[in-house]
């Protein structure tokens, strides 16, 4: 994860929310006719394409206000690994959530970004496990602790709430986490991810990071060790020659 990716994630979520609020202004000014024209109507074949427009519309100011903060937080957590993957997660969540409403909801017009929110929630919860990424596992745990309460609106029978759309979005996020998981050959093992920080810390503590001077010291030591040996061998030969000559002279 880089600073650039974090910045890009924040920018795209600000832009996403700005789009939703601009559409809300136009929708409100037009008496919420956009909801009627572009919301999901179950089992109506002609309205099937509306699964792609309904998530961008809301039925009231309270509706969009309630969705904005979790959408930004969970969307940011889903986006900081890369915008391309984030867009695919969004697409999968929209399709699965929208189809769930269109196929299984008995009646009623459905709009709102809740399906996408639940999609991001499911994706963030399980992405780290499927990718074997410790950082993402921790992020998923934190997101789960912060937003576990939103699962209450996915309970069947909640009045005024399309629980099928929420469950569909959650399922879409889980599917996205599995489909977009890191290829097996590119994953780090749990053990290696834990070992890297400790290995780096150990290297710094023992002073092993400066390998070049260590090599030089070893080479210099070798030269210092071999020089006296060569000098000693030369001195022994000269002494033996001197003793031989003294013996020849009868001394």
Rounded (5°) CA angle 87-90-91: 90
H runs (alpha helix) in the chain: 3-29, 33-38, 61-79, 83-104, 114-131, 134-147, 163-179, 190-206, 211-248
Question: Which DSSP string corresponds to 200-250?
Answer: HHHHHHHTTT-HHHHHHHHHHHHHHHHHHHHHHHHHHHHHHHHHHHHHHTT
- pLDDT bin (cut points 50, 70, 90) of residue 29 is very high
Rg over CA atoms, the chain? 34
- The pLDDT assigned to 215 comes to 42
Tell me the pTM: 0.73
Percent of the chain with pLDDT over 90: 59
pLDDT tens digits, 117-175 = 999 999 999 999 998 889 999 999 999 888 888 777 666 766 678 889 999 999 999 99
Rounded Cα–Cα distance for residues 5 and 126 (Å) = 20
Highest mean pLDDT among 19-23, 81-85, 196-200: 19-23
Rounded Cα–Cα distance for residues 43 and 34 (Å) = 19
Neighbour-count burial of 63, counting CB atoms closer than 10 A to its CB (0-12 exposed, 13-18 middle, 19+ buried): middle
Question: Which DSSP string corresponds to 169-181?
Answer: HHHHHHHHHHHTP
- The pLDDT assigned to 122 comes to 95
- The pLDDT assigned to 179 comes to 94
**Which residue, 81, 85, 80, is CA-closest to 11?**
80
- pLDDT bin (cut points 50, 70, 90) of residue 184 is low
Q: If you average pLDDT over every residue of the chain, what do you get?
A: 81
- The pLDDT assigned to 173 comes to 96
- pLDDT bin (cut points 50, 70, 90) of residue 182 is confident
To the nearest 10°, the Cα dihedral for 167, 168, 173, 178?
110
- The pLDDT assigned to 157 comes to 63
pLDDT tens digits, 83-130 = 999 999 999 999 999 999 999 998 889 999 999 999 999 999 999 999
Q: Tell whether the torsion through CA atoms of 142, 124, 5 and 64 is positive or negative.
A: negative
With both helix axes pointing from N to C terminus, report the angle between 61-79 and 114-131 in degrees, rounded to the nearest 10. Answer: 20
- The pLDDT assigned to 243 comes to 58
Structure tokens at 127: 């992405």
């Amino acid at each position: 994860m880089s600073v650039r990716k974090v910045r890009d994630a924040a920018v795209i979520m600000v832009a996403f929310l700005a789009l939703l609020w601009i559409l809300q202004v136009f929708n409100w000014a037009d008496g919420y006719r956009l909801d009627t024209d572009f919301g999901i109507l179950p089992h109506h074949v002609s309205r099937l394409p509306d699964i792609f427009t309904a998530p961008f519309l809301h039925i009231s100011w309270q509706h969009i206000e309630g969705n904005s903060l979790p959408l930004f937080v969970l969307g940011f957590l889903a986006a900081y690994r890369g915008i391309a993957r984030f867009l695919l997660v969004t697409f999968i969540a929209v399709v699965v959530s929208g189809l769930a409403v269109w196929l299984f909801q008995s009646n009623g017009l459905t709009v709102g970004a809740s399906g996408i929110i639940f999609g991001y929630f499911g994706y963030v919860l399980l992405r780290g496990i499927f990718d074997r990424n410790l950082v993402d596992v921790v992020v998923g745990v934190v997101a789960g602790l912060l937003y576990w309460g939103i699962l209450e609106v996915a309970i069947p029978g909640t009045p005024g709430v399309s629980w099928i759309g929420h469950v569909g979005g959650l399922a879409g996020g889980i599917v996205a986490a599995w489909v977009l998981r890191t290829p097996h050959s590119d994953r780090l093992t749990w053990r290696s991810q834990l070992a890297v920080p400790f290995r780096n810390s150990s290297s710094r503590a023992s002073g092993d990071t400066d390998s070049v001077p260590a090599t030089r010291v070893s080479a210099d030591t070798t030269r210092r060790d071999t020089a006296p040996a060569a000098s000693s061998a030369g001195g022994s030969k000269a002494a033996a020659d001197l003793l031989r000559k003294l013996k020849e002279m009868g001394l």
